[in-house]
Amino acid sequence: MKIAVNTQHLLKNRLEGIGWFAHETLSRIVHDHPEHEFVFIFDRQWDQSFVYGKNVKAVRTTIPSRHPFLWFWHYEIDIPRILRKFRPDVFLSPDGWMSLRTKVPTVDVIHDINFAHRPSDFPFFYRKYYNFFFPRYAKKAKRVITVSEFSKADMVRTYGLNPQKIDVAYNGCNALYSPLSHEVQAEIRKRYTNGKPYFIYVGSRNPRKNIAGLLAAFEQFKANDDKEVKLLFVGEPMWGASYLSEQITQMQYADDLVFTGRLSTEVLQMVLASAEALMLVSFNEGFGIPVVEAMHCDVPVICSKVASLPEVAGDAALYVDPNNVDSIANAMQQIIAFPDLRKSLVMKGRMQREKFNWDLTAQKVWESIEKALQ
């Protein structure tokens, strides 16, 4: 069997959520199925580390695909041309994009459709592209994979898809994520927060992540607490994040905010594992990988009780209402004030995290590929 794969998110030292999904699943599938041939389609010169075996042939399209106009050329012109040349049995796209101009059976991994519910979080041309093409992708695909039962139900409800067409493959967790000794934690806190304890947020500062609410809650928490706790942000700004600058300048406790920018996985693991708790108080999440990463680091989780987060966190999180600043601030206060609560959440997290494994994810993706060929 010959399998063509959209690999545009496999970028050296720049893997993010979708890129990690592609890397972790494809590396396993290629290794586990040496009898099959894979054609990896990159949109720029690839790094050889992403060519996972001798059964992989890497090719590239004519131009990079990083803008709605270029997306159209990439998927409706370049991809069909490559598929006609190599004549694969199936086309796998781990990031949601696919081609409407090919007859090759397609397995499309649509991680979430938050753009359908919060279009204003995206630039004009992005949201227009997403909301025009993705419903069509979902209907044309032979199989659709998504990362949570919540996202599956959302696509059934929003796009009118047959639930029998959708397979759920949970995200896993990088093996690097693990607890640290108290001594190493102290060193990390000394390096990033002058030795002070901190809450941590990991991800882009997209409006749907409710960073404004998190900042307001932290301000309230600090006003009611005399401890020198910090709030540390890992990640880069994203669309619509400029408004946060004004909010931060008006904060009384702005000096207790720490922005690290993007960190390597190795460094992020240490920074996350040294935190008091992970904060993920989003309005919408298709999965929420940082929740699983925190559980693997024995770090408590404070997250919203909406979307996929209760499915992922189970009983191993302190839940909040993302629309209620008091709710978020109170949860932060509880984590600091009650060590036994923190220990309880860590213990529950050790059990909950066992549900999320990249080996199982890769297996689910492979099963979906097989279904597409039946």
Report yes or no on 135 lying in a domain.
yes
33: left (phi over 0), alpha (psi -120 to 50) or beta: beta
Coil, strand or helix at 174: coil
Task: Tell whether the torsion through CA atoms of 294, 299, 305 and 311 is positive or negative.
Answer: positive
Report yes or no on 141 lying in a domain.
yes
Write down the pLDDT at residue 244. 86
- Over the stretch 152-201, which tens digit does the pLDDT of each residue have? 999 999 999 999 999 999 999 999 999 999 999 999 999 999 999 999 99
User: Is there a single domain that holds both residue 307 and residue 344?
Assistant: yes
Report yes or no on 177 lying in a domain.
no
User: Is there a single domain that holds both residue 20 and residue 137?
Assistant: yes
141: left (phi over 0), alpha (psi -120 to 50) or beta: beta
User: Is there a single domain that holds both residue 161 and residue 276?
Assistant: no
Report yes or no on 162 lying in a domain.
yes
Domain CATH code at residue 345: 3.40.50.2000
Domains held by the chain: number: 2
User: Is there a single domain that holds both residue 324 and residue 369?
Assistant: no
Distance CA(160)–CA(158), nearest Å, equals 6
pLDDT level of residue 241 (50, 70, 90 thresholds):
low
Domain that includes residue 364, residue range: 2-172+357-373
User: Is there a single domain that holds both residue 293 and residue 342?
Assistant: yes
Helices 325-337 and 339-352 pack at an angle, to 10 degrees, of 100
- Over the stretch 4-34, which tens digit does the pLDDT of each residue have? 999 999 999 888 889 999 999 999 999 999 9
User: Is there a single domain that holds both residue 14 and residue 98?
Assistant: yes
pTM over 0.85: yes
User: Is there a single domain that holds both residue 51 and residue 186?
Assistant: no
pLDDT level of residue 67 (50, 70, 90 thresholds):
confident
* DSSP code, position 194: T
User: Is there a single domain that holds both residue 219 and residue 273?
Assistant: yes
Give the residue ranges of DSSP H helices in the chain: 17-32, 68-73, 79-86, 114-117, 124-140, 149-159, 182-193, 211-223, 243-249, 265-273, 289-296, 309-313, 325-337, 339-352, 358-373
Write down the pLDDT at residue 367. 98
- Over the stretch 270-325, which tens digit does the pLDDT of each residue have? 999 999 999 999 999 999 999 999 999 999 999 999 999 999 999 999 999 999 99
**How many CA within 13 A on the CB side of residue 259?**
13
Report yes or no on 168 lying in a domain.
yes
Beta-bridge partner residues of 201: 233
Q: Give the residue with greater pLDDT, 258 vs 13.
A: 258
User: Is there a single domain that holds both residue 149 and residue 186?
Assistant: no
Task: Tell whether the torsion through CA atoms of 168, 366, 18 and 104 is positive or negative.
Answer: negative
pLDDT level of residue 348 (50, 70, 90 thresholds):
very high
User: Is there a single domain that holds both residue 71 and residue 15?
Assistant: yes
